[in-house]
Chains A and B, each alone.
Chain A
Amino acid sequence: MKRWFPPLLTVVFVLWILSALMPKKESSYSINGFGRLPVVFNGRVQPVDSLARNSLTQIREKDTANLEPWKSWYQAPKILSATEWLLTVMTRPEVADGWKVFRLDHPELKALLKLPEADPTRNEDGKHFAWAQFGESGFKLIEDEHRRIRETKKDASQRTTFDSAILEAHEALTLYLRLKNTVHPQDTAEFGREIGDYTRAVPAGVTAFRNRMIGSGVVETNALTALFDFAERYFVTVRMDTPLLIPPASGGEVGEWSRMGEALLDSSVGAPLLRHLMHRDPKEALAPERVSALIGSAGTRPLNPAVPLWAKMADAFRLEQSVEFNQAVATYTGYLQSLRLDRALSKASSEQAFNRFAPFSKAAAIYIVAFLFGCGFWFNFAEWSRRTSLQLVLLAFVVHTVGLIFRMWLEGRPPVTNLYSSAIFIGWGAVGLGLILEGFWKNAIGLAVATVIGFATQVVAHNLALSGDTMVMMEAVLDTNFWLATHVVIVTLGYASTFVAGFLAILYVILGVGTRVLTSTMGRSMARMVYGILCFATLFSFVGTVLGGIWADQSWGRFWGWDPKENGALIIVLWNALILHARWGGMVKERGIMNLAIVGNVVTCWSWFGTNLLGIGLHSYGFMSGAFTALMVFVATQAILIGLGSLPQSMWRSFRGLKS
């Protein structure tokens, strides 16, 4: 049993991972096929599946839609996939409006919208609400509050939790509105028929429009009004910045995709001209010769063939005709293939597979189990327990690595491109280092540190992902794979190794003060580990920091600009150097190094998150109140641990026996 247990458990987890790769059995609708269709959003090609998951995550903090949130899990609430939810939002908004998918927690916000308290008998859980429960009037209230905050509290640190709740709710509701108007205006009854009516109204309408604009010929007012009733409807959806659904009829580049409204308007007056006429915003002003060119070419372009194909899908789903829907999805996929959009299609389908695979959350789950077996080893010194832990960590590390490589391939980028991916990568680096330590010492210490950091960084990443797409495009200045691959990767490894040293130290303090596990040999070997890891932390953080300086010198001619993020990285270098020098000078011994290494956690967290919260500098992502609270809690725990670590030896349970 003890021999067979470790591989057996590992195989169980392997099967679990493989099962997720298989597509789920479908209802009669080809939801997976629809989820695989490429769209352009956030400046990049992505599958409908990603748009759906990221939107739903932003709205309800989960990437599935639980339609009966008041039910407990054992009551089997009805749960929809993100794609099916999005499809309903886009084509049957009146149905989706009744689903309780908006996660709203702030009591004042709930009071503002007059939302009901938790009451399972009335199908209320007090956390999730439907659009229909606050509707347009509730959205208006939130918009007013939103405007007030933007006008009076420009500095994010002045905002209260209520203000932040309003801003988040505003973002979620606006996103929902955009989604409702993505395929067609939200009040459309039958899109296919509407397109037919519109196409018929175009010729006469455009003639009247042109005559009106150049001031000659007969202006048929009825024809003009008929056209503009449609045009205004479509223009409203364009102004909402809906996702880009329609590829150019010639195939072409990603930059040429358009919104549904733009594609429709393109066959009559065109969106640029409407922008110019309807909103006299200087940004949208056009040169007179361009205006007359646009008037001249109005009504000369045929309707983009993708438009009626989308209409077919939408109408079939709306009318609950599954056969027609599946047919329409297949037809549209075939149409995209005929445009030679192979790259967009394969990218979208790979990303859908990646979403289903969800490697990072799977790895996180395995890390927890592995951690428990690792802890078990210290109390009974059963080698099978350590071996189980080791095999599970290796498995999770493989999944983690495959996930990283998959992501890199999808993005065409080095592993770290934003705060989210830095969390994933810190976890990966820490687990790798932990495995190396375990290879040397075989005492489950490396495993414990690996699993704790592997899991904790995943929690951080999950929370960062709540704000939406994690694969957003890079700003012009960051758009360089060379520096992302060198500076960013190395400095992130510096973070990872400093954390490993810090968590080793935490383990030392907890085991030493709270248990009798920490023998003097174990203590010595842990001090060795911390020292060795700190050496490499110094190397990585130093080289990474200076490479950042060189990047800055390359991109704006200033090697060192005292930017908060640069300074944060510099502090890590200085702190690691300080620990090493204090050790070489004999100023600190085993416990001293451990306490200093715990401070290293705080220093690294400051550099990783704290500097972004200051709201200044080049790496500022704005004030995140959630992150601020989390950071403060983390600092407090570290302070407590240092306090414990500074207790006199007589109060350490592990050392008490030694003294007497």
Chain B
Amino acid sequence: MLKTLTQFLSSLRLTVVLLACAIAVVFFGTLGQTSDGLYVAQQRYFRSWFSYWTPHDATFPWIPLPGGYLVGTLLLANLTVAHVTRFKWSWNKSGIFMTHIGIILLLVGQLLTDMLARESVMSFREGESRNYSESSMDFELAFLQDSGSNQLDQVIAFPANLIKSGTELQHPLLPFSIRVREAFENATVRVRGPMVDSNRPPASTQGAGRSMIIESSAAKRGMDDRNVPGSVLEMIDGGRSMGTWLGSGILRAQQIETASGTWRMELRPVREYKPFALTLIKTTHEVYPGTEKPKNFQSRVRIQNLDSREDREVDIYMNNPLRYSGYTFFQFQMGREQLEQGGRGTSALQVVQNPSWIAPYLGCIIVGLGLLVQFGIHLGKFISRRKA
């Protein structure tokens, strides 16, 4: 039984079938992006064990597919078992060994990246400083209490996925509890029109929502699209309702008065604080003459780290990121209109933390060398045979 299993797992036939499966997954995963958008397609085809592909109009039957995880795991198993049981080392096969080790490194590296890498965005205007970056996908419901100085706010944050209709949120430091009346994954919030909306009540009884309307919108799926969550929240202090507030990703902080002081409430992108701060000094945006085609985006930033007493300026531009203390900062977006009006430019930096970033570099070198060695051996043999 074990023998048949190892034979199966180490067979070249399995390799060929798995490679064919991998091709199918990648192909349909690419097609799927046209209807699902990049993010959803990735989750569905590549970060899954099983999936299926449905054409746009869906009159065809579905095509069942293995997921990326399944194919990757089996390929890894196939490769490892084959090496343990079947392969015998010889110099003639050194290239194949190297290639396979490199492939294992790439597969494992990609899996680690998948689990460990974190992406966020740091955006600011010229002159502003940031010691945190913001998630581009996830929001949090934050309650802040001013404690006088700007730096040491009391912050209590609930991740957005806890905000579901009907739930009640509590925190020992928060003098009130929050009952979620309504919650939308993607919501449109707008000013309540005096005539058109006369038969619709305002979104909330307190705060900015008193003059606004909230509506659910279809969730967005594209790579650059972003959902803006919205919710109606009722604050309850000792069983007594304090009224409802509108929570929305597009609203600024709103005040909540309690007996013990004033709190500010904000539904904002999840923040990740850093042990250092970046200040945007200058933005540069160049286009080719007579066209709108971008030639260069560049941000000059100042790094200030109190711990290491570091204080220096660097330029971040396309293909020239800043790698600093485990983070990499890439030039991402730039506000151009303001620049032309002589106002302050804005810049957004993509912030990536990926401890396994080195794996593909090593993997590429090892596989490249391995293939070169192996095919070089083939070629050498071939030439000497022809000469003979």
Contact = CB atoms under 8 A, between A and B. Distances in A.
Interface of A: 40-44, 241, 243-244, 254-257, 259, 282-287, 289-290, 440, 473, 475-477, 479-480, 483, 528, 532, 535-536, 538-539, 542-543, 546-547, 549-551, 553-562, 564, 567-568, 570-571, 574-575, 577-578, 581-582, 584-585, 587, 603, 606, 611, 614-617
Given A480-B319, A585-B15, 10 more contacts: A43-B295, A255-B286, A257-B289, A259-B290, A287-B342, A476-B294, A535-B374, A542-B367, A585-B11, A616-B33
A475 B342 CA distance: 24
Closest 10 pairs (CB-CB, A-B) = A43-B288, A585-B12, A557-B352, A546-B364, A578-B19, A287-B342, A539-B371, A535-B375, A476-B294, A43-B291
20 contacts: A255-B286, A287-B343, A476-B295, A480-B318, A536-B375, A539-B372, A554-B321, A556-B332, A557-B119, A557-B328, A560-B360, A562-B38, A564-B30, A568-B30, A571-B23, A571-B27, A587-B12, A587-B13, A611-B30, A614-B30
Main secondary structure on B side of the interface with A:
helix
B72 to A, nearest CB: 12
B23 A578 contact: yes
B337 interface: yes
A254 B288 CA distance: 9
Contact of A581 (B16, B31, B328, B371): B16
A285 B317 CA distance: 27
A477 B319 contact: yes
B291 A574 contact: no
B330 interface: yes
A521 to B, nearest CB: 14
Nearest to A577: B19
Interface string B172-183: 000000000000
Interface string B349-379: 0101010010011011001100110110011
A477 B12 CA distance: 41
A270 to B, nearest CB: 15
B340 A283 contact: yes
A476 B26 contact: no
* Interface range, B side: 35 or more
B263 interface: no
A124 B26 CA distance: 52
B29 interface: yes
B57 to A, nearest CB: 13
A256 B289 CA distance: 7
Nearest to A545: B364
Given A283-B340, A557-B119, A587-B12, A567 B26 contact: yes
A78 B352 CA distance: 63
B150 to A, nearest CB: 30
B299 to A, nearest CB: 13
Contact of A557 (B42, B321, B340, B361): B321
Nearest to A289: B342
A433 B296 CA distance: 38
Nearest to B45: A562
A128 B42 CA distance: 49
B22 A42 contact: no
Given A41-B290, A479-B295, A550-B364, A560 B110 contact: yes
A555 B321 contact: yes
B368 A550 contact: no
Given A532-B379, A575-B23, A473 B295 contact: yes
Interface in B327-352: 328, 330, 332, 337, 340-343, 350, 352
A562 B41 contact: yes
A241 B361 CA distance: 45
A476 B297 contact: yes
A582 to B, nearest CB: 5
Contacts of A575: 19, 23
B190 to A, nearest CB: 21
Contacts, number: 179
B20 interface: yes
Interface in B67-122: 106, 110, 113, 119
Contacts of A547: 364
B319 A290 contact: no
A546 B360 contact: yes
B200 interface: no
Given A543-B364, A562-B29, A587-B13, A555 B330 contact: yes
Main secondary structure on A side of the interface with B:
helix
Nearest to B327: A557
B382 interface: yes
Contact of A550 (B15, B20, B290, B361): B361
A567 B318 contact: no
Contacts of B297: 476
A40 to B, nearest CB: 6
A559 B330 contact: no
B360 A559 contact: yes
B3 interface: no
B378 A614 contact: no
Contact of A43 (B11, B289, B354, B357): B289
Contacts of B378: 532, 535
A564 B41 CA distance: 12
B240 interface: no
Contacts of B287: 43
B293 interface: yes
Contacts of B143: none
Given A557-B352, A581-B15, A617-B33, A42 B26 contact: no
Contacts of B354: 557
A564 B22 CA distance: 15
A287 B341 contact: yes
A155 to B, nearest CB: 10
Contacts of B289: 40, 43, 244, 254-257
B154 interface: no
Contacts of A479: 295-296, 318-319
A555 B29 CA distance: 24
A440 B30 CA distance: 40
Given A549-B360, A567-B29, A43 B290 contact: yes
B30 A532 contact: no
Given A479-B296, A532-B379, A556-B332, A581 B23 contact: no
Contacts of B321: 554-555, 557
Contact of B30 (A257, A528, A536, A567): A567
Contacts of B12: 581-582, 584-585, 587
Contacts of A259: 290
B245 interface: no
Nearest to A546: B364
B318 A243 contact: no
Contacts of B363: 546
Interface string B307-319: 0000000000111
Contact of B337 (A283, A477, A483, A615): A283
A532 B382 contact: yes
Interface in B272-289: 286-289
A594 to B, nearest CB: 17
A477 B13 contact: no
